[in-house]
Amino acid sequence: MSIDANTVKKIAFLSHLKIEDDKVAATQEEFNKILQWVDQLKEVDTDNVEPLVSVNNEHLRLRQDEVTEGNQAEAVLANAPVKEYGYFVVPKVVE
Amino acid sequence: MSGMIIQGKTGDWEVICGLEIHCQILSKSKIFSGASTHYGSEVNENVSFIDAGMPGMLPTLNEECVSQAVKTGLGLNAKINNYSAFARKNYFYADLPQGYQITQFQYPIVGEGFVKIELENGETKDIGIERLHIEQDAGKSIHDISPTKSFIDLNRAGVGLMEIVTKPDFRSPEEAGAFLRKLRSIVRYLGTCDGNMDEGSMRCDVNVSVRKVGEDGFRTRNEMKNVNSVKFVMQAIEFEARRHVEVYESGGQIEQETRQFNPTTCTTKAMRKKEYAHDYRYFPEPDLPPLVLSDEYINNIKNDMVELPDAKKERFVKELGLTPYDASVICENKEVAEFFEKAASGHDAKKVANWLMGDFFAMLNEKKITLAESPISAENLGALVELVSKNVINGKTAKDVFAIMAATGEAPEKIVEEKGLKQVTDVGAIEKVVDEILANNQANVEAYKAGKTNLIGWFVGQVMKASQGKANPEVVNKLLKQKLG
């Protein structure tokens, strides 16, 4: 499997990444190298094998329902480029 | 047949609808962090570094959210999956700081089930449930403070949600409305979601398409997101279905798109189409291993389930002799059902139901108060019915006693005792009053004997008045008829 330049641009758009036009070809080549490697993995017979969801061979541990965090609005907002009245402020986004 | 048929120029069309409902899980803390879920806190006060999407933070799953989802799944008669897993749904929006939502995709915690709905014509119908999965809620964006800026509060970010997806089984707005009311009743009985659509703790996405009657398969559907009341959901389905028919009959095609329902105009319009909007590039969540639930765990929850509205309704019909209609009205709300059961205990349940659904609800409405604020306790309502059943007071006096109970909150026995309202069943005493009335109204007695027998009502009225409403009406009737011959 390999992908074309348009797919590279589409994935960049979906990921909110800016890829300059002169970098598209190089990025496409990197993508295709990864895909070739995945194609190689596909040679392994995985019929009747359930997909592996996690490499940790461990079940999920659960947390008790207790409030242990919060009341730290200042710390949460510390790195926000713009904040007002305790809110994060961003350029207007309306659907 | 409760389906809605739209008569078009080219023939009859039927409506196809499916719903996706997001229910906020009732839990103290968020699904993947220890921040509070409390509604109405100061801005950004209930936010952990996990909720804020800070680098290096790891989510840990809240056990309460898991058991709430399992409980709800059992309430939907659904299969609980021993194995489920989390996935990342990737999209960018300012109130989703991680850049992805942790949700379940391929392996949801709950599989197929069904919910029985009752329709106005008395029919019932099973609505198929496709799945229920758990995920995190996003934060809240406020767009109306500034014309150029959006303000973000992350208090809601990370609150646990159950997304319930139905099969495309609805054939009319009425069926969808009945389902939503039933679902709300079930989650409230279970205590897994407070079910308040107007506060956004239960939100509904509506999928609608139409097809010619007799046609197989489905045509293209449109989705309307976040319709926030049962009434609006019903209106949205009706409008959208009629719009589809119009488009098809004028030679057009329906394109799959997300539309917004406007409750003021009862119409829908296309939302700005986002390019690649549905390409969420799901992949397995690397920070959370799969969730494995033992049969023992699931059975423990099953054994601990409260009685659900359907089971309660059936019991009220079978054991207490209520009509199916009365039973379903009383069982829709858990608190009402509990109040009724307490009031009916040891008394005539059908009469208690009549009082509850009649004078009692009217009293709550008139006073604009909730059941919990009622001045009349369940025990006292039962006691009032008992006084009538035992002929201590008659039906008319009972209404007066009820009014005093509503005003003072006193027990009916006390009111009857203090005001001397006990019914007179002593035939001798009543006979004395009857004789007096007859003696003082000779003209009417003659008229009655001459054939104006409908005067009997007037005589009864006179006797009741003379006895201050306390005479037993049956005895009065019998005596009058005897004496007037």
Tell me which chain B residues have a C-beta less than 8 angstroms from the C-beta of A62.
60-63, 66
Which two tokens mark B78?
């659904």
Tell me how far apart the alpha carbons of residues B182 and B468 are, in angstroms, rounded to a whole number: 47
Interface contact flag, B34 A69, Cβ < 8 Å: yes
Question: What is the 3-state composition of chain A as percent helix, strand, coil, each rounded to the nearest 5?
Answer: 40, 10, 50
Q: Which residues face B258 on adjacent strands?
A: B223
Calpha distance B80→B414 (Å, rounded): 53
Task: Give B185: exposed, middle or buried? Use CB within 10 Å, 0-12, 13-18, 19+.
Answer: buried
Question: Is the pLDDT at B449 greater than 90, yes or no?
Answer: no
Interface of A with B in 5-64 (CB under 8 A): 10, 13-14, 16, 53-54, 56, 58-64
CATH of region B427-484: 1.10.10.410
Element (H, E) at B7: strand B5-8
d(CA B245, CA B256): 15
pLDDT of residue B19: 98
Substitution target from A3, A55, A79, A93 for chain B, most B beta carbons within 10 A: A93
Q: Which residue of A has its CA nearest to B61?
A: A62
Q: Please say if the pLDDT value at position B473 is more than 90.
A: no
- Encoded tokens for A57: 């061979």
Of B268, B248, B267, which Cα lies nearest the Cα of B259? B268
CB B330 within 8 A of CB B336: yes
CB B421 within 8 A of CB B393: yes
CA dihedral B171, B174, B180, B184 (to 10 degrees): -150
How distant, in Å, are the alpha carbons of B57, B409, B472 from that of B366?
Answer: 54, 16, 30
Angle at B360 between CA B356 and CA B362, to 5 degrees: 120
A58: chain B residues, CB-CB within 8 Å: 289
Q: Which residues of B touch A13 (CB under 8 A)?
A: 275-276
* Cross-chain CB nearest to A67 (options B36, B90, B92): B36
**Could you tell me the two tokens for B248?**
């098809």
Which candidate, B67, B66, B81, places its Cα nearest to that of B32? B66
Residues in chain A closer than 8 A to B290 (CB atoms): 53-54, 59-60
Give the Cβ contact number of residue B243 at 10 Å.
17
Judged against a pLDDT cut of 80, whether residue B297 lies above it is answered with yes
- Assign B275 to helix, strand or coil: coil
The answer to whether the CB atoms of A90 and B152 lie below 8 A apart is: yes
Instruction: Give the pLDDT band of residue B279 (cuts 50, 70, 90).
Output: confident
Query: B50-57: long-range contacts (C-beta < 8 A, 24 or more apart)?
Result: B50/B158, B51/B97, B51/B154, B51/B157, B51/B158, B52/A76, B52/B97, B52/B154, B52/B157, B53/B97, B53/B98, B53/B99
Grade residue B272 by pLDDT with cuts at 50, 70 and 90. low
What value does the mean pLDDT take over residues B329-343? 95
pLDDT value of position A73: 96
Query: What is the C-alpha separation between B207 and B226, in angstroms, rounded?
Result: 11
- DSSP letter, residue A93: -
- Across the interface, of A53, A64, A87, the residue whose CB is closest to B290 is A53
Distance from CA of A10 to the nearest CA of B (A): 9
Helix runs in B250-294, H state only: none
Chain B residues inside the 8 Å CB shell of A14: 90, 276, 279, 281
Q: Give the pair of three-digit tokens for residue B297.
A: 């765990």
Instruction: Inform me whether the pLDDT recorded for B275 exceeds 60.
Output: no
The total of other beta-carbon atoms located within 10 Å of residue B32's CB is 25
Local structure of B114: helix, strand or coil: strand
- B359-409 pLDDT per residue, tens: 999 999 999 999 999 999 999 999 999 999 988 888 888 999 999 999 999
The pLDDT of residue B307 is: 95
- Reading the block at residue A88, the tokens are 């994060």
The residue among B109 and B466 whose pLDDT is bigger is: B109
Query: How crowded is residue B406: how many other Cβ atoms within 10 Å of its Cβ?
Result: 18
User: For chain B, what are the domain ranges?
Assistant: 5-300, 307-419, 427-484
User: What single string gives the DSSP state of each residue in B8-44?
Assistant: ETTEEEEEEEEEEEEEE---SB-SSSSBB--TTPSTT
**Both tokens assigned to B439:** 């003696």
Best A3, A50, A60 residue to mutate vs chain B (most B CBs within 10 Å):
A60
pLDDT digits (tens, 9 = 90+) for B67-86: 999 999 999 999 999 999 99
Please give the radius of gyration of chain A, using alpha carbons only, rounded to the nearest integer: 22
pLDDT at A10 over 60: yes
Q: Are B18 and B170 in contact (CB under 8 A)?
A: yes
**Per-residue pLDDT at A53:** 65
Least confident of B114-123, B315-324, B424-433: B424-433
Chain B interface, best mutation among A18, A55, A62, by max B CB count within 10 A: A62
Alpha helix locations (H) across B125-281?
Answer: 173-190, 230-249
Give per-residue pLDDT as tens, B172-227: 999 999 999 999 999 999 999 999 998 899 999 999 999 999 999 999 999 999 89
Total beta-carbon pairs less than 8 A apart between chain A and chain B: 134
CA distance B182 to B65: 22
Query: According to the model, what pLDDT value does residue B396 have?
Result: 85
Residues 63-82 of A with CB under 8 A from B: 63-73, 76-77, 82
Nearest-by-CA chain A residue for B149: A92
Residue B227's SS3 state is strand
> Could you report the per-residue pLDDT of A39-69, keeping only the tens digit for each?
999 999 999 988 776 676 677 889 999 999 9
* Number of C-beta neighbours around residue B374 at 10 A: 19
Q: What pTM does this model have? A: 0.85
SS3 content of chain B, % helix, strand, coil (to 5): 40, 20, 40
Structural domains for chain A? 1-44 (1.10.20)
Q: Using CA atoms of B67, B191, B127, B11 in order, give the dihedral in degrees to the nearest 10.
A: -130
pLDDT of residue B157: 97
CA distance, residue A78 to nearest chain B CA (Å): 11
Residues of A in contact with B44 (CB under 8 A): 73, 76-77, 86-88
Residue of A nearest to B63 (CA): A62
Q: Are B159 and B24 in contact (CB under 8 A)?
A: yes
- Is there a contact between B320 and B344 (Cβ–Cβ < 8 Å)? yes
ipTM of the complex, rounded to two decimals: 0.85
Residue A95 binned pLDDT confidence (cut-offs 50, 70, 90): low
